[in-house]
Structure 1
């Protein structure tokens, strides 16, 4: 992008963040290196964020707020900045997801984005060969903050058993991801079921979908194709999706049996492997 002198703070949340960071830093009479020393990073990183060459993190923003006494300005801005890094076609869905009071999802190929570990998300997003992988990963992690609210949305995820077996990112990444899923076993607001292979054909063989419900707005169905996402509030589509989801829930393992299966796959498929030439001892 253009240098800081020509940044237009109204151009994007990222441009505004960089512009405001420089304004606040200079108002405190600090050079980039001096601010970097205070917040435990390099002056080069401060400069790259000021010129939008690097995407700031939430940790960076919180440290800047503490160092400059900006009353949470950058901690509030970072949410807008990270959401702006999502693909343009996905941003409307992310905004609706953040407002939903109930989220139900069926996933046939991958762990749902709100449940992904950072390592798993990085492996998934890297397949698209993005220009800024770090920014996309940070944006996905930011989405998950809705689950940390005092009253998060009630969420229900049905994962095809294939999701557990597909080794995204390798053995260690998958072990961490399945362990993450198990953490939700006692979660008050989240339920996870696994649709086992033995269920055979089912009502959503044609793919994944998400159903969002709101306190005062119409329900929304979201689906994706190869290059974009689609939302609709068509009542007939909503009824059909609700019917399919009810059948999926009936065919899936119980929450408790799902956790048992996840644990078994985690240990048997992604557990500690014997070293080459090492024999098991009976």
Structure 2
């Protein structure tokens, strides 16, 4: 087993977290098993996190802070740790997303990451055959915390209607995901619109894209292909993308009609018939 003391705490946020966890634990005179008993986990898990073999969760971090009296240290570190688990090419976008005052996104294939349920996100990530599935999933869920901030970004979402009909993860997963969208649509700072299939040709045919706007930073345009993400603050690109987004908003259903359509799709395609139909 790798000795935690051989880790370089400056190598990565995860290395620092593991190094600091062991330092704090030993400073309190606790063995791994003893700390595990206090925070209701195994000593083995403590060891795996201290040696960076396993990525900690936010719940774990909060329990460690409470047990060791570390004044929120690990709760603050966990955001940085989880963000570092995102693909290297995606990390710059995630950092900008967390600072944005406005997020405008058009999605043609899947629900926008900030609005995904955990099981839907898992199904999407599994489709990419990711070896680090649990780490990527934890990082994606961590991104969503910005929607719960006291001052969250105004998030404008346009989903192609095809997203609603693509049964990612199966009927149950889709039902709960779409019900989650309806619920999110009541959030003061979230507006969800559906671009109907009847819209025909439209500016979004080239693919999904995001526009981030800031209070003290130039706007950013982001898109991605199968292998990488592409981000730019070029004013001409921003102007063109904003025009495309305006056209998509005009062609999309209203927020109210979009919610009604999502609810109808749930009923018609993903309703849990086992709850209605008696067993023969």
Unaligned runs of 5+ in 2: none
Match of 1:137 in 2: 137
What secondary structure does 2:204 align onto? coil
What secondary structure does 1:204 align onto? helix
Match of 2:17 in 1: 17
Q: CA offsets, 1:150-209, max 9 Å, x none? A: 010011000000000101111111111101101122211000000001111111101000
Unaligned runs of 5+ in 1: none
What secondary structure does 1:9 align onto? coil
Written as runs of structure 1 = structure 2, the 5 A alignment for 1:1-282 is 2-273=2-273
Counterpart CA distance in 2 for 1:10 and 1:203 is 45
So what's the TM-score if we normalise by structure 2? 0.97
Assess, with a 3 A threshold, how the Cα gap between structure 1 residues 279 and 7 changes in structure 2: closer, same or farther: closer
- Could you list the structure 1 runs, at least 4 aligned residues long, displaced by more than 3 angstroms after superposition: 277-280
| Alpha carbons 2:172, 2:272 under 8 Å: kept | no
Assess, with a 3 A threshold, how the Cα gap between structure 1 residues 216 and 192 changes in structure 2: closer, same or farther: same
Superposition deviation, residue 217 in structure 1: 1.1
Q: CA offsets, 1:190-246, max 9 Å, x none? A: 000000011111111010000000112111100001100000111111111011100
Superposition deviation, residue 67 in structure 1: 0.3
Number of residues paired by the alignment?
A: 279
Counterpart CA distance in 2 for 1:90 and 1:214 is 19
Assess, with a 3 A threshold, how the Cα gap between structure 1 residues 183 and 274 changes in structure 2: closer, same or farther: closer
CA RMSD, Structure 1 to Structure 2 (Å): 1.6
What secondary structure does 1:167 align onto? coil
Superposition deviation, residue 278 in structure 1: 7.0
What secondary structure does 1:210 align onto? strand
What secondary structure does 1:99 align onto? coil
Superposition deviation, residue 5 in structure 1: 2.4
Counterpart CA distance in 1 for 2:171 and 2:220 is 36
Assess, with a 3 A threshold, how the Cα gap between structure 1 residues 32 and 279 changes in structure 2: closer, same or farther: closer
